[in-house]
Structure 1
């Protein structure tokens, strides 16, 4: 394991966060704070509790995941796309660095930024709504697992994309709608039976409910299934990334 190479990639990617502090940290926190003000404080104070949890507190896990998913994908996809765009990717490919070491460096940096951002939003949420965390270590575990998984997905997206427009298609047109429709702002048990069944095909439902269980001990789906689906998706992303590096697809063309 070339720890020097991993450290170099990791530090370089993290340093980009401090050069673009407003875009990387301040902007997502400000946007999420507006959600807390509107949905948590203003609207939430007029709504009944869900499963014994106030509405403002109920949406905290979903809002954190909304930012975590999009930022994990964006950070990782942009991090690997720029070397492709500038041609620096050939230096990485020709260096004595394995696929695993490249992935650890890029994905590790993207996941670290996302976890830091998620924790900042968690602290910020306390300014707007009171809530408790029933299983803090499980919550941290879920936070890290989801950040790593979707950073891997973002890394894969960056390898696939051949334009800046394609980098935005999946986060904006797929991930964000699925997050809004995945129970971030409501319990899927509140839906009619037909729509509840349809919603169960949304993978984000399992992420949101697993993360919410760590906060309040309540979930609309089995938590074990949530973890299993996340791990399977992570392994699938790893497999596809390995295949891309092995074949050179979208890298050497």
Structure 2
């Protein structure tokens, strides 16, 4: 394993985060804080409790997961797309570094940024709502697995995209709506039976449900199912990336 090459890519991508600190960290934290103020403090007083949890606290896992998904996608997608756009990707591919090492460098940096952002948002949430974590180890496990999974997904999008518009296509039109409809602000158990069944087709719902369980020991589906779905999605992304590098899809002229 060429750790020097991995760390070179990793450090370069992490340095980009500090160069764009407002866009990478401050902007998502401020946006999420507004959700806490509006939904948690203002609207939450009129809603009361969901499954015995104050509404302001109930939405915290969903808001963290919403930011985690979108930032993991965008960080990884832009990280690999920009070398494609400038042509430096060919220098990386011709260097004595394997596909696994390239993916570890880019995806590792994107996932690290997302986990850091998720922890900052979690710390910020304590300023607005009362919060406790029943299973901190599982909380961190879901946080890391989700960040890695969607960073891999973003890596695939960055290779697939042939323009800056396509970089935003999947996050804006697919992932963000799925996150909103996956129980970020509500429990699917309050929906009519038909829409509960429809919600079970939403893969993001399993991520949010498992992450919420780590906070309150309550979830819409069993935590084992949530963890299993996360690992399935992670495996599918790894298979897709292996196919891309073996075939040179969107990498070779």
- The reply to whether TM is greater than 0.5 is yes
Which secondary structure state, in structure 2, belongs to the residue aligned with residue 219 of structure 1? Answer: coil
Match of 1:10 in 2: 10
- Map 1:169-184 → 2, pairs under 5 A: 169-184=169-184
Deviations 1:6-62 (A, max 9, x none): 000000000000000000000000000000000011111121201110000000000
Match of 1:201 in 2: 201
- Quote the RMSD (CA, aligned, Å): 0.5
Residue 82 of structure 2: SS of its match in structure 1?
helix
Secondary structure at the aligned position of 1:11 is classed as: helix
Shift of 1:103: 0.4
What SS class does the counterpart of residue 50 from structure 2 fall into? Answer: coil
Where in structure 2 are the equivalents of 1:71-86 lying within 5 Å? 71-86=71-86
Residues in 2 aligned to 1:144 and 1:198: alpha-carbon distance in whole angstroms: 27
State the partner residue of 2:228: 228
Q: What is the 5 A alignment of 1:69-148?
A: 69-148=69-148
Q: For 2:152 and 2:223, how far apart are their aligned partners in 1?
A: 22
Give the Cα separation in 1 of the matches to 2:239 and 2:205: 24
The two structures have a TM-score, normalised by structure 2, of 0.99
Taking the aligned partners of 2:249 and 2:204, their CA distance within structure 1 comes to 29
Give 1:30's aligned residue. 30
Task: Give unpaired runs (5+ residues) of structure 1.
Answer: none
Which residue pairs with 2:245 in the alignment? Answer: 245
Q: Output aligned runs, 1:36-55, within 5 Å.
A: 36-55=36-55
Which residue number corresponds to residue 61 of structure 1? Answer: 61
Please list every run of at least 4 consecutive aligned residues from structure 1 whose deviation after the TM superposition is greater than 4 angstroms: none
Distance 2:194 2:240 in 1: 34
Taking the aligned partners of 1:195 and 1:216, their CA distance within structure 2 comes to: 24
Match of 2:21 in 1: 21
User: How many matched pairs?
Assistant: 253
| Partners of 1:110 and 1:148 in 2: CA distance | 8
